[in-house]
Structure 1
Amino acid sequence: MAPSWLPKVRVAACNVAPVFLDTPKTVEKTISLIREAASNQADLVVFPETYIPAFPLWAAIAAPIDNHTFFQRLAQQSLLIDGPEITLLRQTCAQQKIYAHIGINERSHHSLGCIWNSSVLISDRGEIVNHHRKIMPTFYEKLVWAPGDGRGLKVVDTERLGKVGSLICGENTNPLARWSLMAQGEQLHISTWPPLWPTRRTASATAGSEAASSASPTGKQYDNIAANHTRTAAHCFEAKCFGVLCSGFMDKPMRDELISAIPSAAETLDSVTQGASLFLDPTGAQVGDQVVGEEGIAYADLDLNACVEPKQFHDVVGTGYQRYDIFDVKVDRRRLGPENSFDERGGEESRIESLPARVADESHGRRERSPAQVHQGVGGLRMI
């Protein structure tokens, strides 16, 4: 019997709806779910894409000239990375001794209208161990979010969870973003998704409109579940890692508020399949619980030792298969933004480090990196 030298991890994936565009109440709900996952012995709890305070579905179902009110509400309710809401979530993780990966709408200190699709990985000591901004919004998301940067393309080496990386929604279709995590030895991959992702109106909704004449009769609505499963399974198979697929949920209050403002979207929203939350092993096979079509928490117990054997015959990172004499990849992980014009350390990141020590012992385990370590990568992968 092979020795066990990697951790066994219990993960909770929350297939849940926010309190639509209400950050204080959604944070309160998030804290309750973190506590529930911790009480069920989870090591890590995962929340959907931009869970706080909502995924901007209105951008899919109405023209931008009709969406000013929703955008203003989202901007007002979005979080500062060094704000009180994040501090409260960090305190909860430290108190409950659990890791949490949370999708948020993040606002900027420097521009009232700048919002990022972001995620934070908070440790069981209350430390932010990774802060990622989605590198490129997809399709209609570009009307809401600013492009992020490569700073969060980082795999966090933890004793409790193994080596953890994450990507947001469409980033899981980006081969180079995925490769940047594989090349850092990722063992547990978190992928987060919206509740639904409409790409077409229903036939009856377009009937009699100008859109109907130009609509393709053979076009199909985007299959949220199949697409997300395919992308996450492909990454797990290629990286030889476990995968957590965590989707949001559109509850009745969210649906009703959207339709109240955009009545023509009712049939479209009701016809689109909602996402699923589930788990995949290093072969891409599904394991553990699944939640789809309702609110709930899916759980899975993942033995990271299962990541080892598949690498023996097909390791796309190791020198047994990869050709670093042919391929050379560079990843720029500098935080981009106006804050760098005033603070060499990067404004938001400096403020995170200076948060009160009561959250946790901030200095515990923190090591300064040498220039060589900052640029260290696997083979041809170069980190700036």
Structure 2
Amino acid sequence: MSEHFILAAIQAAPIYLDRQASVEKAICLIAEAGRKGASLAAFGETWIPGYAFFAFAESSAARWDAAQLYLDQAMTIPGPEADALCDAAKSADVDVVIGVVELESRTRGTVYCTNLVIGREGRILGCHRKLKPTMEERIAWGEGRGDDLTVWERSYARISTLACWEHQMVLPGYALMAQGTQVHVANWPGGEPATVPASPEALWSRQELLSRAFASQGACYVISVGGIITPDLVPEQFRSLAYSSGAGSLIIDPRGEIVARAPRGEETILTFEADPSVIRAAKTACDSAGHYSRPDIFELRVHGVPVTSLVPVRGEGRCNTKDR
């Protein structure tokens, strides 16, 4: 870590409930971020094929239709869409973190809120599934697991990612700080839905608050990026289910100060030139898992063993099902 590098928050709307069209738009935006010289470009939560807006609506035939289309338009990883995104990252020479709706390949009946991490070499570095969907999101997404709380070593910095209210959970963030994250992507759907009884300004403040807290506690840069949603952006038959939420993406320095802010609700690529010396200076004051920790008092254990509901029993000619 010696050279300055550019961070990019891609604040834009996907093509809702259209996987292929969203991928094509993402490819164009990745290329644009590359032209801006970005080392790392980040998209909002479940950007492909869009946030599960329908989960917050009352039960109806339209909501059931939207839910099944959401499943149909989810991505498999690996898969052709992931390959196309890898090619785009390689062509643009930029690392990419993008939120996707990931289809469970075994059952094909569950999707996850997944952050897909792609290297500029054109390969998948890893994925992180959101550990706990928030409130009504549990109607749409399954729960993630602990084996993908990962920090990736890149030439310019160590990078990590969490989605939305995982920053409210506290412990996932510490698991990444303990691995020495230096640049963190915090992605959001674009604010929380209007059905929550608070003003849009207050809701946005929570996103800003949690992102700034992570930057300060982790002594790392944070790209806090959200998408955009309005009823006119979703397919016509589902507009009665949608709400309006425009992101106001941020880039935050390792002391928790906002150094770049995107206009709310406008499609843009927000960039900032990051300085590695600022990361090092902040960590000298607070290295949360190093000199600013007390391992003699506190210990965090992360259980990262994948589990399954179907376990073959050898030699008995049958299968056991287990609720895990």
Could you tell me the TM-score, scaled by structure 1's length? 0.76
Identify the match of residue 306 of structure 1 among 278, 286, 291: 278
CA drift at 1:305: 1.6
Question: In the alignment, what sits opposite 1:177?
Answer: 172
| Mapped pair 1:334 → 2:313 | no
Change (3 A) 1:339 1:44: farther
| Mapped pair 1:200 → 2:179 | no
Aligned-partner Cα distance in 1 for 2:248–2:61: 31
What is the SS of the residue equivalent to 2:262? Answer: strand
| Mapped pair 1:274 → 2:246 | yes
Tell me if the contact between 1:224 and 1:275 (Cα under 8 Å) persists in the aligned partners: no
User: After superposition, what is the alpha-carbon deviation per residue over 1:136-174, rounded to whole angstroms, capped at 9, x for unaligned?
Assistant: 1000000000001112210111113x0101100010111
Identify the match of residue 75 of structure 1 among 55, 71, 90: 71
Question: In the alignment, what sits opposite 2:320?
Answer: none
Give the aligned CA root-mean-square deviation in angstroms. 2.2
Question: In the alignment, what sits opposite 2:126?
Answer: 130
CA drift at 1:338: 5.7
CA drift at 1:66: 5.3
Q: How does 1:136-175 map to 2 (within 5 A)?
A: 136-160=132-156, 162-175=157-170
User: Aligned partner of 2:195: which letter?
Assistant: R
Change (3 A) 1:153 1:86: same
What is the SS of the residue equivalent to 1:29? Answer: helix
What is the SS of the residue equivalent to 1:231? Answer: helix
Question: In the alignment, what sits opposite 1:246?
Answer: 225
| Mapped pair 1:191 → 2:186 | yes
What is the SS of the residue equivalent to 2:278? Answer: helix
Aligned-partner Cα distance in 2 for 1:28–1:339: 37
Tell me if the contact between 2:262 and 2:268 (Cα under 8 Å) persists in the aligned partners: no
Change (3 A) 1:112 1:313: closer
Deviates more, 1:24-33 or 1:331-340: 331-340
| Mapped pair 1:31 → 2:27 | yes
Tell me if the contact between 1:7 and 1:305 (Cα under 8 Å) persists in the aligned partners: no
Change (3 A) 1:79 1:40: same
Deviates more, 1:305-314 or 1:277-286: 305-314
| Mapped pair 1:45 → 2:41 | yes
User: Aligned partner of 2:198: which letter?
Assistant: K
Aligned-partner Cα distance in 2 for 1:232–1:280: 8
User: After superposition, what is the alpha-carbon deviation per residue over 1:259-301, rounded to whole angstroms, capped at 9, x for unaligned?
Assistant: 6444xx6xxx35xx52211100011111134232211111111
CA drift at 1:314: 3.0
Aligned-partner Cα distance in 2 for 1:338–1:81: 20
Question: In the alignment, what sits opposite 1:234?
Answer: 213
Change (3 A) 1:329 1:260: closer
User: Aligned partner of 1:49: which letter?
Assistant: E
User: Aligned partner of 1:196: which letter?
Assistant: G
Tell me if the contact between 1:98 and 1:123 (Cα under 8 Å) persists in the aligned partners: yes
Change (3 A) 1:164 1:53: same
Identity of aligned residues (%): 28
User: After superposition, what is the alpha-carbon deviation per residue over 1:8-37, rounded to whole angstroms, capped at 9, x for unaligned?
Assistant: 221111111111101111100000001111
User: Aligned partner of 2:304: which letter?
Assistant: R
Tell me if the contact between 1:289 and 1:299 (Cα under 8 Å) persists in the aligned partners: no
CA drift at 1:90: 0.8
Unaligned runs of 5+ in 2: 314-324
Change (3 A) 1:220 1:40: closer
Could you tell me the TM-score, scaled by structure 2's length? 0.90
User: Aligned partner of 2:212: which letter?
Assistant: A
Unaligned runs of 5+ in 1: 202-218, 343-384
What is the SS of the residue equivalent to 1:59? Answer: helix
Greater strand content: 2
Deviates more, 1:30-39 or 1:151-160: 151-160
Aligned-partner Cα distance in 1 for 2:125–2:60: 36
Q: How does 1:209-228 map to 2 (within 5 A)?
A: 219-221=197-199, 223-228=202-207
User: After superposition, what is the alpha-carbon deviation per residue over 1:172-223, rounded to whole angstroms, capped at 9, x for unaligned?
Assistant: 111110000000001001000012322537xxxxxxxxxxxxxxxxx53463
Change (3 A) 1:341 1:13: farther
Tell me if the contact between 1:38 and 1:96 (Cα under 8 Å) persists in the aligned partners: yes
